Chains A and B, each alone.
Chain A
Amino acid sequence: MSAPAQSKSLKAIGEDTWKNKTEKVNAELFTLTYGAIVSQLCADYDRDFQKVNNHLFSMGYNIGVRLVEDFLARTALPRCENMVKTSEMISKCAFKIFLNMTPQVTNWSSEKDAFSLMLDENPLSDFVELPMDAMKQLWYSNVLSGVLKGALEMVQLDCDVWFVSDILKGDPQTELRIKLNKVLKDEVPIGED
């Protein structure tokens, strides 16, 4: 199969799964629930936004390690052989199925091991305006980087995931960066190597 044909079928898988195999919930309810979590965390940590970022990340990680199984069960997709394929699966299938959006993949590194996702229509941050003190440090949607980190780790891709910019902070766009550290080796039973 040629590359364009494959990417088209990934898109079709994403759309089909979203349409037929996914129960829908009200997006506003989701947005507001997430907002309540973030504001509670800010209160709990006394507006120490570094800690809030870390906590959101670890919450996301714990979601991601389980969510990936749900994703694979819905789509039955095999492992990706390279990061280009991975990026397409994330944007066209995973984001489509769980958040009904298709972020653009850009800013490839020269070794093709790092890319950025442009989250134009991030449903987590609808209706959100950060207060002045939070604007400098808080990565409001940091749960997403944790989810991606956890999910990718479960398919043996050790990645770093972080936000580069966020509309909420006054940047022109929201950019989420994913960088592959290494492909983890599958375990072999003792005595096999």
Chain B
Amino acid sequence: MAIYSFWIFDKHCNCIFDREWTLISNSASGTINSKQTEETAKLLYGMIYSLRSVTQKLSKDDTANDVRSISIGKYRIHTYCTASGLWFVLLSDYKQPSYSHVLRYIHSHIYVKYVTHNILSPYDFAENENETRGQGFRKISNRNFISAVEAFLGPMIAQ
């Protein structure tokens, strides 16, 4: 299994964290919260958003029907959406069918610990109306959060 990139979107349709690895030989390579990946983030969000609305319409009853993974020619997208509107998204190769436990771990043990329980970090990354609906630019820049994500996902990059 190899992972290519990791993204977090908030309920304001903004990408609040992104991490892309470029060399599988080096877990420190690539970009964090880069301006260059802004367009990719928007496209990724749009694709998941559209598929989610399709699946919700195709659902037979009221119970939640959510997208878990999307497989495309060369890679697989794994999503984990919380009731509070956060999306955790991971791009990987085909070797492992599900990463939902990995994403759930990141939410419950890394995001909650270093962002939600950190009173100095905002709980909402849009500060006003102009930063909602996908127009925001704020990212999680918290050092502890970033190093915990690195330490957790690093070993999976080239396995």
Are A69 and B12 within 8 A (Cβ)?
A: no
Is B85 in contact with chain A by the CB < 8 A criterion? yes
The segment out of B22-30, B68-76, B127-135, B145-153 that lies at the interface is B127-135
The 0/1 profile, CB within 8 Å of A marked 1, for residues 12-23 of chain B is 110000000000
Q: Are B104 and A76 in contact (CB under 8 A)?
A: yes
Interface string of B32-74 (1 = CB under 8 A from A): 0000000000100110010000000000001110100000000
Residues of B within 8 A of A192 (CB): 46, 49
Main secondary structure of the interface of A (DSSP, over half): loop
B interface with A by C-beta (< 8 Å): 11-13, 42, 45-46, 49, 62-64, 66, 82-86, 104, 107-109, 111-112, 116-117, 123-124, 132-135
A154 at the interface (CB under 8 A from B): yes
**Bound CA span A72–B84, Å:** 8
Cα A81 to Cα B83 with chains together (Å): 11
Q: Once the chains are docked, how many angstroms separate the CA of A192 from the CA of B62? A: 24
24 A-B pairs with CB atoms under 8 Å apart are A65-B123, A65-B124, A68-B84, A69-B82, A69-B84, A70-B117, A72-B83, A72-B84, A73-B108, A73-B109, A73-B112, A76-B104, A78-B63, A78-B64, A79-B83, A154-B84, A186-B11, A187-B12, A187-B133, A189-B13, A189-B42, A189-B134, A190-B133, A192-B49
A187 near B132 (CB under 8 angstroms)? yes
Question: In the complex, how many angstroms separate the beta carbon of B158 from the nearest chain A beta carbon?
Answer: 28
Closest 7 CB pairs of A and B: A73-B108, A189-B134, A78-B64, A69-B116, A189-B13, A73-B112, A81-B62
Q: What is the bound-complex CA distance between A155 and B83, given in angstroms? A: 6
Q: Is the Cβ of A187 less than 8 Å from the Cβ of B11? A: yes
Distance to closest chain A CB from B145 (angstroms): 13
Smallest CB–CB gap between B107 and chain A, Å? 5
Q: Contact between B85 and A186 (Cβ–Cβ < 8 Å)?
A: yes
Interface majority SS (helix, strand, loop, mixed), chain B:
loop
Q: Which residues of A are in contact with B by a Cβ distance under 8 Å?
A: 65-66, 68-70, 72-74, 76-79, 81, 154-156, 186-190, 192
In the complex, what residues of A have CB within 8 A of residue B116's CB? 66, 69-70, 73
Q: Select from chain A the residue with minimum beta-carbon distance to B116.
A: A69
A69 to B117, CA, bound (A): 9
Given A70-B117, A78-B66, 6 more contacts at CB 8 Å? A69-B123, A73-B109, A76-B108, A154-B84, A187-B13, A189-B46
Query: Chain B: which residue is nearest A21 at the CB level?
Result: B108
CA of A73 to CA of B111, assembled, Å: 9
CB-based contact A189/B84 at 8 Å: no
**Max chain A CB contacts within 10 Å: which of B62, B83, B104, B132?**
B83
Task: Give the residues in chain A near B83, CB-CB below 8 Å.
Answer: 72, 77-79, 155
